[in-house]
Each structure stands twice: as structure tokens, then as C-alpha cells.
Amino acid sequence: MKKVIRNYNDPRFRKFIKHLGGLATMMDMEHWGDHDLNVACLSFLLAVAVDRPLVECDRIGKAAYLHDLGKHAAWMKHLFAPGKGKHTPEEARERQEHGQAGVELFALLLEELYEVGQERLRARLQHQLDARTIQLVNECQIYHDIPYVRGQKDIPLVGRICRIADAYDTMVAKNHCGRKYRKRKTDAQAREELLRCCGIDFDPDLVRLFLDLVLIPLQTKGRSFRPFKTAPTASTARMN
């Protein structure tokens, strides 16, 4: 597999977008904001740069799409309300549990889909979320918030990849993904931050691949790379 995807018409990228659109439709997540979609896209591209098998890249991208599922749990939403601002120490501790909340919510969603789904829906569900994908989704929920220095190579690859993609998109997003108490960064500033935090927050090997093989090929004129400002959206993509 060639490591670099240079444009949105690359068949590997377009196939992933179709799969992501199918997942969004099936799980009624088309109304989610573009941050989740961007993190999924960037994670897929970084997995390609790592030279993982394409089917595994697809799974990693899907897992990254659901990385913040816990924030959508009814018992966690008050901690992630738009414009919430800074949190108290107690709220910060509660927020740290959103990964486990995501695992629990994901299990409930799968159970509900299997119970109410017709035979065709179940077949699509098994195709989109096989056992390995479900494993990666749960790993991503738990590990993407853990700094590299605390776990290093013990943190699964999906968690290390998603952490970088999530951090970059959060930094360059226009509204800072709802974090109004933080200032939006330019692409150059976001790159500097990733490099500054190498070995502490982020896997240094993955950061180098992310900067060189994900951002550079797809950027124009130094602007930040947010796929779902310019690429086809998952909500308009459908599985064949």
C-alpha cells in the first residue's frame, strides 16, 4: 500500500467515507458535529501512513468516529454542554470517566440495534461493526485521553492515533469544538504544539508521520486541514 493519500478522490479515502456514512446512518449519528468526522478522517489517514492493512485503517477510522461517544450519554451531557467553560476539580474527575461511559453506551446501542433490527439491518451491523471493530471502538474510548508518557507503547495504536487527530482538530477548529475558554490556533501553532508535546502527550513517531504524511500532502497554502470543510460529508455518503 502506498502510504500517502494526496487528494480526496483517492479510492481508499472515498471508500472509507462511504463506510463512515453507512455507520452514521445506521446508528442515527448524522446530526453530530464535524469534529467527530474530522477525527475519524484524520485517524484513518494516519493509520494508512503507519502502513496498517486497509481493512484495519477502516476500523481505526470508525473507532475514532465514536471516540467521544461517552459525551453523548445522558448522564454525562451536562459536563460537555457547549460554552460550558472551565470545570471544577470534581467535574474534571467526572469528565475523565467519559471513556467508560462511552463503552457502556456503545454496548447499549449495539444491544438495541440487534433487538429491534430486521435481518437486513443486522447484516449491515455485522458488516460495519465486526468483533475487531467493536474491540477497537472500546479501546479508543478508554485510551485516547491517556497521555503517551503514562502508557507509551502499552496504549493501543488506535488510542495513540486518535489522541493526535483529536488534539489537532480541536486546536484548529473555528469554535475550538465548544471550548470557548481556549483560543483557536493556526495550523503552524497546532503543529508546534504537537511537536512540543511529543513524548509527553503524544507518540513522537506517530506525530512525525502525521505531520509529514497526513498534513503536508493534503494542505494548501499552510491552511489547517479539516476534511469536512472541503471533503464529501459522511452524512451524504451511503454504502453500495
SS3 assignment, position 198 = strand
pLDDT value, residue 121? 67
Q: What does the pLDDT read at residue 25?
A: 75
Write the CATH number of the domain with boundaries 11-236: 1.10.3210.10
CA dihedral 89, 92, 94, 95 (to 10 degrees): 170
Backbone angles phi, psi at 95, to 5 degrees: -60, -35
Residue 136 near residue 53 (C-beta atoms within 8 A): no
Separation between Cα atoms, residue 127 and residue 118, nearest integer Å: 14
Give the pLDDT of residue 118: 57
**What pTM, to 2 d.p., does this model score?**
0.80
Residue entry with cell 467527530 = 36
In this prediction, residue 32 carries a pLDDT of: 60
The whole-number pLDDT of residue 153 equals 76
**pLDDT (tens place) for every residue of the chain, 240 residues total:** 456 787 778 899 888 988 888 787 776 665 566 888 889 999 999 999 999 999 999 999 999 998 887 766 554 555 555 555 566 666 656 656 666 776 777 787 777 776 765 566 667 777 788 889 989 998 998 888 889 987 777 899 999 999 999 999 989 887 655 455 467 888 889 999 999 999 999 999 999 999 998 987 666 545 666 665 544 444 444 333
CB distance 3 to 48 below 8 Å: yes
